[in-house]
């Protein structure tokens, strides 16, 4: 049915949509067909777009998110109306929570039956209102190019995020005259912070005795990590990072203390608590980072740099530097600060907070395995994580020296993110080594995407840490619910090696610490997709841990902390 629209002056709305996507620079889209979106799938045939068929719409949304996180480009996912759209929602919410540029295109029943509870009709626009930057229901096919172009701009500009276009089937099928080409969506220039506030920020920085950079994912979204590194080195500033800010600063930088927060590095939390000035760069005082908010960096004033004016001052009063992150950071450049006693304290905290990777016994020790993974894979490694203990171990023990190398569902914390995000990242960055680190709970949430790996022979490597439990829930039940274990047992998991092989994926198991290195090498050397199943101690915990409601100075520490 797909016409050769390049030779016709008349296009369907769906053909116009596909052509506009091509013109906007989209090369890969992730989706799943169905009734109301069939005109778009008809138009995809013979187009220049690479369509990746996931096996569940949630996989499409996470894959598009992984593609966007790995590149900074807009990710595109497509689904039909009703259940197709509702299955996208978790992925859209993930993109909203972590400020990921995403355009979701959903089919909708035709306008004549919209509002009649038609088959596979659901109020997609209404359901997604709280988790998108903007959204439309398309009323006229002629509007598709301008709407799509605006969607790409909104998804990318300022604080990035998802945009939804709900496309009724009659609009997608309507014939319209071919309009001119849609211009390429470029990065929209962001205003710089007001010079008056920048001067005041400069004075605050130069008067501080214990200043600290508090780095978030906004620095990566703004491609401002070079400006950040320059500020850090020129001023001699110590720094900590949120989960989503990892990769902005080389972890070997002596004054970088790593991740702060609930499972943050001890040195990071202790130093922040003693600081007298926090320079918050693209972070949002998330409760997982701050612990008890009124006990967070209690002596510190705050300078807050962010693209989103609504984020500044939301949870902590601050001097506001709203605008382009790179320009804001550069406005703080200057001479090396006279804070040697503070630097010495920070360096001593870092030296005394090193993790201990010596674990007795023959069992695999997950933190050591993850550290070794990044040692072996080198700096061009991208890790996509699932959610749970393994996610925190990755943040603590893997080495991320580049932005967009640590892709994790930080804000939403969505289990099932890892494999589809890895698919998106590997397709976006085929030259990079991409490894998904997952757990036995998380992998089952999107296990069907192994079929996607097989279909497209995507050489994603999967490191599955299996403790037969929902490990982080078990840890909390042990520590805070008097060991009243409730629904955390997954000991009847399938045989994951057999399961992966059933999908046509190469797979093998690691059970002994002595084989850690050879197993990792085999995983990384595999030519196609490969799964390494690792049995780990079901009683292992993530340390340190700041209990909910405590401040970050009140870390619990256990074994191997």
Partner 1 sequence: MSDRLLLELDWEIGTLQRLIGVIERRGFKVIAIELNASGGARQMAVDVQPRREPKDFAVLARQVDRLHGVVRLGSSPVEQGFSIRHRFPLVG
Binding residues for partner 1 (CB under 8 A): 125-126, 129-130, 133-137, 139, 154, 158, 308-310, 313-314
CA 197 to each of CA 284, 319, 328: distance values in angstroms, whole numbers, following the listed order: 19, 7, 10
Cβ nearer to partner 1, comparing 157 with 433: 157
Q: Where are the beta strands (DSSP E) in 408-505?
A: 433-439, 461-466
Cβ nearer to partner 1, comparing 313 with 468: 313
* Residue 151 to residue 386: CA distance in whole angstroms: 28
Pick from 308, 323, 260: which is nearest to 160 by CA?
308
**How would you list the strands of the sheet with 134-137, edge to edge?**
50-53, 28-31, 75-79, 102-108, 162-168, 134-137
Query: CB 310 → partner 1: shortest distance, Å?
Result: 4
Contact 4, 169 (CB under 8 A): no
- Tokens 């799964």 belong to which residue? 531
* Residue 309 to residue 384: CA distance in whole angstroms: 30
Cβ nearer to partner 1, comparing 263 with 316: 316
Cβ nearer to partner 1, comparing 314 with 535: 314
Query: CB 151 → partner 1: shortest distance, Å?
Result: 10
Query: CB 526 → partner 1: shortest distance, Å?
Result: 45
Cβ nearer to partner 1, comparing 153 with 433: 153
In the structure encoding, which two tokens stand for residue 370, read together?
């993850």
Instruction: Name residues whose C-beta falls within 8 Å of residue 1's C-beta, 6 or more positions apart in sequence.
Output: 42
Instruction: Name residues whose C-beta falls within 8 Å of residue 331's C-beta, 6 or more positions apart in sequence.
Output: 192, 193, 198, 201, 202, 321
Cβ nearer to partner 1, comparing 135 with 241: 135
Strands 433-439 and 461-466: parallel
* Residue 419 to residue 433: CA distance in whole angstroms: 14
Cβ nearer to partner 1, comparing 136 with 197: 136
- Tokens 């997952």 belong to which residue? 438
Cβ nearer to partner 1, comparing 137 with 473: 137
Cβ nearer to partner 1, comparing 158 with 291: 158
Cβ nearer to partner 1, comparing 133 with 225: 133
Strand, coil or helix: 51: strand
* Residue 57 to residue 80: CA distance in whole angstroms: 9
* Residue 46 to residue 24: CA distance in whole angstroms: 18
Query: CB 134 → partner 1: shortest distance, Å?
Result: 4
For 399, phi then psi, to 5°, come to -105, 120
Cβ nearer to partner 1, comparing 168 with 418: 168
CA 297 from centroid of its chain's CA atoms: 26
Query: CB 293 → partner 1: shortest distance, Å?
Result: 13
Query: CB 121 → partner 1: shortest distance, Å?
Result: 15
Angle CA(98)–CA(422)–CA(490) in degrees, nearest 5? 90
* Residue 547 to residue 424: CA distance in whole angstroms: 34
* Residue 532 to residue 534: CA distance in whole angstroms: 6
- Tokens 């600081």 belong to which residue? 275
DSSP letters spanning 198-242: HHHHHHHHHH-SSEEEEE-HHHHHTT-HHHHHHHHHHHT--EEE-
* Residue 390 to residue 379: CA distance in whole angstroms: 20
Query: CB 130 → partner 1: shortest distance, Å?
Result: 6
Query: CB 504 → partner 1: shortest distance, Å?
Result: 44
Instruction: Name residues whose C-beta falls within 8 Å of residue 481's C-beta, 6 or more positions apart in sequence.
Output: none
Cβ nearer to partner 1, comparing 191 with 254: 191
Query: CB 125 → partner 1: shortest distance, Å?
Result: 5
Query: CB 311 → partner 1: shortest distance, Å?
Result: 8
In the structure encoding, which two tokens stand for residue 48, read together?
């220049």
Query: CB 314 → partner 1: shortest distance, Å?
Result: 5
* Residue 151 to residue 165: CA distance in whole angstroms: 8
Query: CB 242 → partner 1: shortest distance, Å?
Result: 20
Query: CB 309 → partner 1: shortest distance, Å?
Result: 5
Cβ nearer to partner 1, comparing 146 with 233: 146
In the structure encoding, which two tokens stand for residue 65, read together?
């998110």
């Amino acid at each position: 049915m797909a016409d050769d629209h390049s030779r016709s002056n008349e296009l369907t709305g769906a053909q116009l949509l596909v052509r506009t996507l091509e013109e906007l620079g989209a090369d890969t889209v992730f989706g799943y067909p169905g009734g109301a979106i069939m005109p778009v799938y008809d138009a995809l045939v013979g187009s220049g777009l690479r369509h990746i068929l996931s096996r569940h719409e949630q996989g499409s949304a996470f894959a598009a998110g992984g593609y966007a996180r790995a590149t900074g480009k807009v990710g595109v996912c497509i689904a039909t109306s009703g259940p197709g759209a509702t299955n996208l929602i978790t992925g859209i919410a993930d993109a909203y929570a972590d400020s990921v540029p995403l355009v979701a295109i959903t089919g909708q029943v035709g306008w004549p039956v919209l509002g009649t509870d038609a088959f596979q009709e659901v109020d997609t626009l209404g359901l997604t209102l709280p988790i998108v930057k903007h959204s439309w229901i398309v009323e006229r096919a002629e509007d598709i190019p301008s709407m799509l172009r605006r969607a790409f701009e909104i998804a990318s500009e300022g604080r990035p995020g998802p945009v939804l276009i709900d496309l009724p089937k009659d609009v997608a099928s309507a014939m319209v005259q071919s309009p001119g080409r849609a211009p390429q969506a470029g990065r929209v220039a962001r205003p710089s912070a007001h010079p008056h506030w920048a001067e005041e920020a400069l004075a605050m920085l130069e008067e501080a005795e214990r200043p600290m950079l508090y780095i978030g994912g906004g620095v990566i979204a703004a491609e401002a990590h070079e400006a950040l590194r320059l500020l850090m080195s020129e001023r001699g500033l110590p720094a900590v990072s949120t989960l989503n800010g990892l990769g902005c600063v080389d972890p070997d930088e002596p004054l970088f203390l790593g991740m702060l927060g609930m499972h943050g590095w001890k040195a990071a939390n202790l130093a922040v608590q003693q600081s007298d000035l926090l320079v918050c760069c693209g972070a949002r005082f998330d409760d997982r980072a701050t612990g008890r908010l009124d006990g967070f960096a209690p002596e510190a004033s705050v300078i807050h740099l962010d693209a989103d004016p609504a984020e500044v001052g939301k949870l902590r009063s601050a001097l506001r530097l709203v605008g382009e992150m790179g320009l804001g950071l550069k406005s703080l450049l200057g001479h090396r600060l006279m804070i040697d006693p503070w630097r010495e304290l920070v360096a001593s905290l870092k030296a005394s907070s090193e993790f201990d990777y010596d674990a007795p016994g023959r069992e695999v020790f997950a933190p050591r395995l993850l550290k070794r993974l990044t040692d072996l894979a080198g700096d061009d490694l991208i890790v996509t994580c699932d959610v749970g203990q393994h996610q925190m171990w990755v943040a603590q023990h893997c080495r991320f020296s580049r932005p967009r190398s640590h892709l994790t569902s930080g804000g939403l914390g969505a289990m099932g993110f890892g494999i589809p995000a890895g698919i998106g990242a590997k397709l976006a960055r085929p030259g990079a080594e991409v490894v998904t680190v997952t757990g036995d709970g998380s992998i089952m949430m999107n296990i069907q995407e192994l079929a996607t790996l097989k279909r497209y022979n995507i050489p994603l490597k999967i490191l599955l840490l299996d403790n037969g439990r929902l490990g982080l829930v078990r840890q909390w039940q042990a520590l805070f619910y008097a060991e009243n274990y409730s629904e955390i047992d997954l000991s009847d998991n399938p045989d994951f090696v057999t399961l992966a092989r059933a999908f046509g994926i190469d797979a093998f198991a690691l059970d002994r610490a002595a084989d850690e290195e050879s197993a990792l090498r085999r995983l990384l050397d595999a030519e196609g997709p490969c799964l390494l199943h690792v049995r780990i101690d079901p009683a292992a915990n993530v340390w340190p841990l700041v209990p909910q409601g405590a401040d970050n100075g009140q870390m619990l520490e256990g074994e191997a902390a």
